[in-house]
Structure formats: structure tokens, C-alpha cells
Amino acid sequence: MATIADVAREAGVSRSTASYALSGKRPISEEVRRRVLAAAEALAYTPNAGARALATAQTKVLGLLAQFHEDEFAPAMMQYILGVTNTARDLGYDTLLVTEADGVRALRRVTDSRMVDGVVLMNIAHDDARLPVLRAAPQPGALVGFPGDCSGLDVFDLDFEETGRVMVEHLHRLGHRELILVSHPEHVVERGGAYVWRLRDAALERARQLGVILHAAYGESRQPAVGRLLHHLLDTYPAATGLLINNEAAAAALPSVTYERGLRVPGDLSVIGRYSADFAATFSLPYSFVESAPDRLGAMAVRQLVRRVESQAARQEPFVVRFISPELVSRDSTAPPRPSRA
Amino acid sequence: MATIADVAREAGVSRSTASYALSGKRPISEEVRRRVLAAAEALAYTPNAGARALATAQTKVLGLLAQFHEDEFAPAMMQYILGVTNTARDLGYDTLLVTEADGVRALRRVTDSRMVDGVVLMNIAHDDARLPVLRAAPQPGALVGFPGDCSGLDVFDLDFEETGRVMVEHLHRLGHRELILVSHPEHVVERGGAYVWRLRDAALERARQLGVILHAAYGESRQPAVGRLLHHLLDTYPAATGLLINNEAAAAALPSVTYERGLRVPGDLSVIGRYSADFAATFSLPYSFVESAPDRLGAMAVRQLVRRVESQAARQEPFVVRFISPELVSRDSTAPPRPSRA
DNA sequence: CTGAAAGCGCTTACAG
DNA sequence: CTGAAAGCGCTTACAG
């Protein structure tokens, strides 16, 4: 490959002049600039990323740390990742995708070695062991997800508490007085998935205030367990007229369950989910839902991260915790309740 | 961050000695090695990746180029990616995930700038514009998918032709004489997705040889279109007793379709799919299927790629085209046909 | 407006 | 067994 020295020689100038002509970082005579550009073009010159990184202390690469647990529902993950990679690219960055099981080690490796200019962390646990490492790292970090301690990092997430309230309020307004909430599996909670209890606790609180009975249950992440669970819940609470679903796998499984039971939505049962429009389209889910906006969250995290990476001033700004407000997308799966479902 | 100079100073040796002590690339006295290791440990020394890349001309990063089309069924993609990232990491490499729409530009960028030591290409089209670029690149490349011209690259894919034959033969052996094959959507074919017609053409040919009627149809990638299509096909060919599915979205949609029609599998209809075990588990698909082995394919591609990256000898070896033989995983969704489904 | 030189942090022949 | 030095390919003060 051609180096900047080759370009300089070809253009008959010094290496520094060639560099400046290419970067535009200082005034260059029109004639020289033309010759340098032509030479670079002729030699198909592309700067060596490692050399540039060494000289500028910038890699133009962002780290994306994601964790994949055996017992999780993977299909929703891809959209978060694409939100990050696509936004990063728009801003001139490439993305190092790190899926190593040992997230702490992985984070240390990519930050200590200066492979990346900044890091986006996904699958945030309430007490995430990676956070102290990221706070101590020289690169800025952004989270998609909400940890117990947000200090020193920019945090982006759906407002799960408001989501829980919105779901309950919507059905209460329609006249429902007994609801079921299906969350993620219990082991997600044990792993510290705050989005589970944040939505649930806020929903329970709001239900209490409104005099609504809310049965909150853990879910399952896979078929056929999740289908069985839905059947079981509908059996157990025959008076419940509304179903809230904070669990992609459960949402995907629900159509066959209602079909099998001969239940009409919303005639016999009102349903509100929480997932992305893309997910809804893929699985053709006919339910009103709160948009979880994975692409937007990824994009927000990256934009803030890049701001901090590129501007000394931005790096001094206070850290932000930004919640996306829940947006209820209507698919007409809610209606006033029948006197009794049973 | 500490540099090798800091480590050397701390240990009271030269930078080269420190480097050699750490790399073990030349004999070092026990005493000195101990001091260097202690110093590195004390200073939490990690080599700067850019500097090392510049000095060694190796980045220890692999590029993974994937393309995401609006009209595709995304959930299957993640597993291929994880196959690559996890195997890469096991071999000491990180992965740059590039999802840019303009694959040619993206490939040029990461290879010309020497950001990566090798490249894995996914979503291969029959006449893939990225291939000439990859052949001309200084880094070796591996494909997951089968292009029209395999020269100069290592190619890994499921044996879709054999898959088509296995599916037909299996049902023929059971006594079926009229089958339906649902492939991917037509636009996937137009984009050059060879796996569609490779499976289809081989299945058609084998069916012809065996005297089996095979109705080959394009599919859809999303609900509810794919569900409607399945209904339509079952309406159109009432004498067909077996269904072959080379389309994840169609497989995911089939359970509700058979349920809605009151069809029993395999009593009324025998079914064979083609997807991964992980996909089957996620969607609880009750069908016998040919394992598409996305993780294995990603792993094979990476292993071969790394071999070529790391060994001059390996780089001279002839390029390989390696097909995974279809493995039919039985879920008891096939049986001898009823005299007539209608 | 342009050039010669230093420096980024490594590795690795070259010498001893 | 160890050290001094060159070199990887850039960028950017420093001089003019």
C-alpha cells in the first residue's frame, strides 16, 4: 500500500505538506493541493489506521459490549446493535463488537489497549461489575440500560416506570379493574435486569392508587414454557380483563394462546405490549404497544458518546440520564372490558 | 497509561528487554523476567494496540461485513454474528462489525486502512460486488455463503443442494408423492441469494427423478403476508401431503396456520424445515429440520481465516469451498401420507 | 505557504 | 543474556 511518503514523493512535496493538504488543517496553495490530491488518488492512498491512531491518540472506533445469555430471547438484540453501528458510522466511527462472556475482562482489554475512543455498554445489570471499570477508563462511556449507580456515565433507557404507569392508566381509563402483568423470567431479575422491576413496581403502585387489581408474574423466555405460562395465568385469574406484557417472548407467544382459548382481542381481553415496531412487524403482533425504540436508544448513546470523545468541553459537562418517554402505539387491542371474561 | 518505557524504567532494564520479557520471544534471565513482570503488573501495563499494530503489521482484529435489508427476517442473523465474534475471541481476535449499506465502500475502508487482519463476508450474493475488492485486498477473506465465483477466497456454506435432495428423499421414502416447497421471497433471489435456488433446483431435480410432484413457491419474509401465503398454497395444492420450508419466517408462521386449518402434523401434513436448533427453540417449532448451523459456519470461516492470517504457509494453500452436510434433526413431524389431505 | 524534525508506543534486527 | 537504535506510518508543533 502507498504511504504518505509515497504521495509526497509523487507530488514533489514534503510529507508534512502532503499530510496538511489532505487534512486541510493549514492553508495550502491551490497548485500544491491539486498535485497532492492527484497523487493520493493515483496511488489509491488510504492512511494507515494504526499509525494515525498512534499519532493522534484517536482510533475512530467505538466499542460495543453486549452480553448474550443462554436463557435469553435473542431476536430483540439485533436492533440495538444496528442502532449503534449505523449511528457510529454516520458520525465517522467503526464499531468493535465484543460479546465475550467475561465483560469486565473484555472492557479492560479494549480500553487499556486504546483500541476504542469510547464504549457503549448494553445489557446493563443493576449492580454491573463493568461500571467501575468503565468509570476508571480514560475513554468516555455510555449505557443503554439503567444501573443502580449512574455516576460518571451517560445513561439512556426507556422510561420503564412511566411505561408501567401508562399501561395501567390506559386500561383503567377504559374501565378495567383487574389486570395481569407478565414480566421477564425471574433469572433476568436475579441478574439485575432493572427494567423488569422498574416497570412492575411502578405499575403496581399506580394500580394500587387507582384501585386496580394487578397480578404481576414472572415470565419465561422460550417456547413452549412461555405459552404454558400464559395459559396458566389466564386460568388462574379468570376475572382479569387486561394483559400487560413486558417480555418479547411472551408477546410473540400470545397470538396462539388466545387463539387456542378462543379469546378475542380486545373483545374478551385487552392487551398492551412493550417492544419495538420492528419486532411487532416481524412477528405480526396485533397489539397496542409501548415502543421500546432500540435503534433510537442506540443512536442517542452513540451521539452523546461521540460528543464527549470529540470535544474537551463536552467532556466536562455533567453526566446525563436520559429516559425515552413511553409512546403508546395503538393497534386497537384495548377496549372496555366485558363484565366477566369467565 | 503506562508505556513499555515506564515498565522498563520501573524494572531497571531497557525497553527492548522489557518487551522481550513480556513476549517471551528471546531468553531472559529469571531474575529480570520477574522484575519486568512485576513492574508490568504494578503499573497495570497493557500494550497500546495502535503502536503494536504499526510495529507488527497485525491488528488482531477481524472485519465482519454484514448487510441488513429492510425486507429481511432479521432474527436469524444474530447467530451467525455470534459464531464469528466468539470464535474470533477464542483465537485472540476482536471483531469489527460493519453493517454499512454500501458494502464495497466499507470493505475498501477497513482493508485499505489496515484496520483488520482479515475479513469475513456474510449475506453473499451470487454476483457480489464486494468479492473483487476482497480478492484485491492484502488481507485474506472468508465467506459465509456461496457466490457464483469462489476464486481467491475460502467459502463456507450449508450444502443447500444436498439439503433439497435430503428433504425430498425423506418424504418420498415415506410414500409422499406431492409436495410443496416454500422458499424465501423472490426479491432475495433477485438480490442474488443463491441458497434459494440451489435448494429449490436440486429438490426439483430429485423430485423429477423420483416421480414426485413438487410445487416450488417463493415466500414472504414477514407476517401476516407469509401466513396468508401458506394458507394460499395449502388451498391451491390440496393433494400435497408434505411441506418443505426453506424460509425462517414461514417456519415461524406455520404453527398458527396449521392450527387455524385444523391440520395435524404429521397426521395430515408432513413438514421439514431448514433453520438452526437455536431458532427452533426460540420459536418452539415442532418440525423436523435440517440444521443450518450458523454458529458452526461462522466458526469455520473464522478458523480458516485466522490460519491464513497467521501462517505464511497456510496463505499459499489452495482456497477451499466447504459445505456443511445437511443433518436432518427429527422432531417426528413426518409420517406416511394420508390417502388425501383434502 | 512549505519543510525538517520530533514524537506517538511498540517490535525487532543488529551488536555485544 | 542484554542494550542502543531503527523503523512501522502517521501528525503536528517549530522554523523559516
Q: What is the 3-state secondary structure (H, E, C) of A218-234?
A: CCCCCCCHHHHHHHHHH
Note whether A265 and A313 are same-domain residues: no
DSSP for residue A325 = P
Rounded average pLDDT over B294-311: 96
Confidence of residue A281 (pLDDT cuts 50, 70, 90): confident
Query: Mean pLDDT throughout A59-85?
Result: 88
- Nearest residue in chain A measured CA to CA from B249: A282
- CB of residue B15 closer than 7 A to nucleic acid strand D? yes
Question: A2-30 pLDDT, tens per residue?
Answer: 999 999 999 999 999 999 999 988 888 88
Report the gap between the CA of A304 and the closest CA in chain B (Å): 20
Tally the residues of chain A: 342
Beta carbons of A114 and B48 less than 8 Å apart: yes
Q: Is the pLDDT of residue A319 over 60?
A: yes
Q: Is B213 helix (H, G, I), strand (E, B) or coil?
A: strand
Q: Are residues B168 and B206 in the same domain?
A: yes
Placement of cell 457503549 in the chain: A120
Q: Which of residues 15-54 of A touch strand C (CB under 7 A)?
A: 15-17, 20, 26-29, 31-33, 51, 54
DSSP sequence for B216-269: EE---SSTTHHHHHHHHHHHH-TT--EEEE--HHHHHHHHHHHHHHT--TTTT-
Give CA–CA dist A6/B145, Å, rounded: 38
Closest CB to A95 among B75, B86, B97: B97
Q: State residue A259's pLDDT score.
A: 85
**Would B55 be classed as within a structural domain?**
no
The least confident of A257-261, B89-93, B118-122, B177-181 is A257-261
> Is any atom of strand C within 7 angstroms of residue A55's beta carbon?
yes
Whether A332 is covered by a domain: the verdict is no
Strand C nucleotides in reach of protein CB atoms, 7 A cut-off: 1-5, 7-13
Q: Are residues B169 and B260 in the same domain?
A: yes
Contact B259 A259 (CB under 8 A): yes
Structural domain of B96: 61-158+294-324
Residue A163: band (very low, low, confident or very high) from pLDDT cuts 50, 70, 90: very high
- Tell me which protein residue sits closest to nucleotide D11, measuring alpha carbon to C1': A55
Average pLDDT over residues A228-251: 95
Position of cell 467532556?
Answer: A315
Mean pLDDT taken over chain A: 93
Q: Could you read off the pLDDT of B239-271 as tens digits, one per residue?
A: 999 999 999 989 988 988 998 899 999 999 999
Mean pLDDT of A61-79: 85
- The CA distance from A135 to A126, in Å, is 15
Say which of A81, A113, A259 has its CB closest to residue B48: A113
CATH number assigned to the domain comprising residue A34: 1.10.260.40
pLDDT in tens, A114-161: 999 999 999 999 999 999 999 999 999 999 999 999 999 999 999 999
| A150 and A170 share one domain | no
Three-state SS for A123? Answer: coil
Closest residue to C13 measured CA to C1′: B16
On chain B, the residues whose CB falls within 8 A of the CB of A75 are 74-75, 78, 282
Of the candidate ranges A26-35, A129-138, A316-325, B126-135, the one whose mean pLDDT is the lowest: A26-35
Do A271 and A300 lie in a common domain? no
pLDDT band at B281 (very low <50, low <70, confident <90, very high): confident
In a shared domain, residues A80 and A146: yes
Q: Are residues B169 and B267 in the same domain?
A: yes
pLDDT score at A340: 61
A148 shares its domain with A269: no
**Per-residue confidence band for B191, with pLDDT thresholds at 50, 70 and 90:** confident
Q: Answer yes or no: do A182 and A284 share one domain.
A: yes
As a whole number, mean pLDDT of residues B106-135 equals 96
Q: Is the pLDDT of residue A75 over 80?
A: no
* Positive or negative torsion for Cα B218, B220, B226, B232: negative
Cα distance between residue B45 and residue B36, in whole Å:
11
Average pLDDT over residues A69-81: 81
Cis bond leading into A336, ω under 30°? no
User: For position A342, what pLDDT does the model report?
Assistant: 53
| Per-residue pLDDT at A341 exceeds 70 | no
Task: Tell me what the mean pLDDT of segment B202-220 comes to.
Answer: 96
Domain assignment of residue A335, yes or no: no
- When pLDDT is cut at 50, 70 and 90, the band that residue B214 belongs to is very high
Q: How far apart are CA B26 and CA B2, in angstroms?
A: 23
pLDDT, mean of residues A255-259:
88
C-alpha cell at B14: 531497557
Looking at residue B287, what is its pLDDT?
96
Closest alpha carbon within chain B to A75: B75
In a domain? residue A340: no
CATH number reported for the structural domain that contains residue A89 in this entry: 3.40.50.2300
> Is residue B164 located within the same domain as residue B270?
yes
How close does chain A come to B146, measured CA to CA in Å?
A: 24
Q: Is A298 helix (H, G, I), strand (E, B) or coil?
A: helix
CB contact under 8 A, A99 and B82: yes
- For chain B, what percent of residues have pLDDT higher than 70? 99
Choose among B49, B59, B73: nearest Cβ to A114: B49
- Chain D, protein-covered positions (CB within 7 A): 1-13
B247 to chain A, closest Cα gap in Å:
13
Asked if the Cβ of residue B315 lies within 7 A of any atom of strand D, the reply is no
Q: Is A342 within a domain?
A: no
* A40 and A85 together in one domain: no
Q: For the beta carbon of residue B205, count every other beta carbon within 10 angstroms.
A: 15
Q: Which residue in the set A89, A99, A278 is minimally distant from B85, CB to CB?
A: A99
Lowest mean pLDDT segment, chosen from A37-51, B58-72, B163-177, B318-332: B58-72
Residue B203 domain flag = yes
A284 has a pLDDT exceeding 90: no
Average pLDDT, chain B: 93
Nearest CA in chain B to A253: B283
CB contact under 8 Å between B54 and A59, yes or no, is no
Q: In this structure, is residue B333 part of a structural domain?
A: no
A50, B50: Cβ pair inside 8 Å?
yes
Answer yes or no: is A95 within a domain. yes
Other Cβ atoms within 10 Å of A197 Cβ, number? 20
- Read off the amino acid at residue A121: L
Cβ–Cβ under 8 Å, residues B160 and B201: no
- Angle (deg, nearest 10), helices A77-90 and A294-310: 40
Does B285 lie in the same domain as B168?
Answer: yes
Cell of B76: 436469524
Cα A83 to Cα A80: distance, rounded to the nearest angstrom: 5
- Length B9 CA → D2 C1' (Å): 15
Counting the structural domains of chain A, the total is 3
Residues on chain B touching A74 (C-beta within 8 angstroms): 75, 78-79, 278, 282
Q: How far apart are CA A100 and CA A91, in angstroms?
A: 26
Q: Which nucleotide is nearest to A30 (CA to C1')?
A: C1
C-alpha cell at A319: 453526566
H-helix segments, chain B:
4-11, 15-23, 30-43, 49-56, 77-90, 103-112, 130-136, 160-173, 186-190, 194-210, 225-236, 248-261, 277-283, 294-310, 312-316
